[in-house]
């Protein structure tokens, strides 16, 4: 059987472990949010790049017709 001081120490260590685990989970969640934001930004950039390429191609075709 554990003495009161040993029990207190075990409880304190367990509490610290739980708090570290909660912090790790929060960090993982924040990293997930950041990664999702990066994916969304990349998607938007790709979409913008595609639209720009289409606009350039249309302009090139328009110029060729003028010649």
pLDDT of residue 4: 80
Q: What angle do CA 61, 65, 67 make, to 5 degrees?
A: 120
pTM of the model: 0.62
Assess contact for 28 and 21: CB atoms under 8 A.
no
The parts of the chain modelled with pLDDT lower than 50 are: none
Q: What is the pLDDT of residues 44-59, one digit of tens each?
A: 999 999 999 999 999 9
Closest among 63, 40, 1 to 32, alpha carbons compared: 40
Give the ranges where 1-67 is alpha helix by DSSP (H). Answer: 4-66
């Amino acid at each position: 059987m554990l003495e009161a001081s040993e029990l207190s120490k075990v409880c304190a260590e367990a509490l610290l472990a739980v708090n570290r685990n909660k912090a790790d989970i929060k960090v993982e969640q924040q990293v997930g949010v950041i990664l999702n934001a990066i994916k969304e930004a990349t998607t938007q950039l790709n979409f913008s790049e595609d639209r720009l390429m289409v606009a350039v191609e249309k302009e090139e075709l328009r110029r060729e017709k003028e010649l």
